[in-house]
């Protein structure tokens, strides 16, 4: 059976479907030695390659991992500046994985890694509206009006953010994470369904309360809980589905 090239590349763990489409458009994918086009298909017996490197057309075993990403780690597969990447955090895994979406260099928390392109697509495509929960420590204490503005949507780089959830958490004597601040601060629980670049930081900035530290604690119904910083674990089948759950 012939399958679309971007799906084959995602199944083979080369890249997410969207990134695979970019590779095809860039002319880096060949089928039987001929440069492929978007919309092209291949099947068993075809020689599929990216940048001349053969790609196995058979389905690999699917792997799903949760990582507690520390601050100071980049969410890329390789880094031109030789910084620690999230792949270094899961170096024991031999299969080729890629991160599902990204967390900023200075954001910590729940990051998923997989070789399942379809699952990645379901989690990252805006149409699926997967809820991402963050705990942000911000400068100052937002007023009720500022929180209302935050919830209703803000203009960021010419585009309005979707409605979201935000609440101030009561102060707790738990261990702080990330940088420490001088002066008053507030701890916010923020739930957004989008994934724009540095979105939470930009939203907090827009209401006049810049982020001091940021941690993602849940994706869909899947929670980071007490997985230690820098550690990873495999997800159970139930958890793989839980990420896509609506609450
Ligand atoms: N929003 C941000 O600002 N940073 C992240 O890392 C994730 C969401």
pTM: 0.78
Atom of ligand 1 nearest to the CA of 106: 6
Nearest protein Cα to ligand 1, atom 4: 198
CA angle 228, 73, 150 (to 5 degrees): 85
User: What is the Å distance from ligand 1's center to 47 Cα?
Assistant: 39
Confidence at residue 8, expressed as pLDDT on a 0 to 100 scale: 86
Please name the residues in contact with 208: beta carbons below 8 A apart, sequence gap of 6 or more: 140, 142, 146
Q: Is 106 a catalytic residue?
A: no
Confidence at residue 210, expressed as pLDDT on a 0 to 100 scale: 98
**Mutation choice for ligand 1 from 214, 215, 219, CB with most ligand atoms inside 8 A:** 214
pLDDT in tens, the chain (247 residues): 678 898 888 878 888 888 899 999 999 999 999 999 999 998 878 889 999 999 887 766 899 999 999 999 999 999 999 999 999 999 999 888 999 999 999 999 999 999 999 999 999 998 899 999 999 999 999 999 999 999 999 999 999 999 999 999 997 765 556 666 678 999 999 999 999 999 999 999 999 999 999 999 999 999 999 999 999 999 999 999 988 876 5
User: Rounded to whole angstroms, how far apart are CA atoms 137 and 145?
Assistant: 18
| β-pair partners for 113 | 65, 99
User: Rounded to whole angstroms, how far apart are CA atoms 222 and 209?
Assistant: 28
Q: Provide the residue count of the chain.
A: 247
């Amino acid at each position: 059976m012939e399958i679309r090239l971007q799906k084959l590349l995602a199944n083979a763990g080369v890249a997410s479907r969207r990134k695979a489409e970019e590779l095809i458009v860039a002319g880096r994918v060949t089928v039987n030695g001929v440069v492929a086009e978007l919309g092209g298909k291949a099947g068993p017996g075809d020689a599929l390659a990216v940048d001349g490197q053969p790609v196995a057309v058979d389905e690999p075993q699917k792997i799903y991992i949760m990582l507690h990403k520390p601050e100071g780690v980049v969410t890329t597969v390789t880094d031109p500046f030789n910084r620690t990447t999230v792949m270094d955090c899961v170096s024991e895994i031999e299969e080729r994985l890629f991160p599902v979406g990204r967390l900023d260099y200075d954001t910590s928390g729940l990051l998923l890694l997989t070789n399942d392109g379809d699952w990645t697509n379901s989690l990252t495509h805006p149409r699926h509206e997967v809820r991402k929960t963050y705990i942000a420590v911000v400068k100052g204490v937002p007023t009720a009006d500022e929180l209302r503005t935050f919830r209703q949507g803000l203009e960021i780089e010419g585009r309005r953010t979707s409605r979201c959830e935000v609440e101030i958490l009561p102060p707790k004597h738990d261990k702080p994470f990330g940088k420490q601040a001088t002066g008053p601060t507030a701890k916010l629980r923020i739930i957004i369904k989008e994934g724009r670049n540095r979105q939470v930081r930009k939203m907090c900035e827009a209401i006049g309360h810049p982020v001091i530290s940021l941690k993602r604690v849940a994706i869909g119904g899947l929670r980071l809980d007490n997985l230690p910083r820098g550690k990873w674990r495999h997800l159970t089948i139930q958890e793989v589905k839980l990420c896509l759950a609506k609450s």
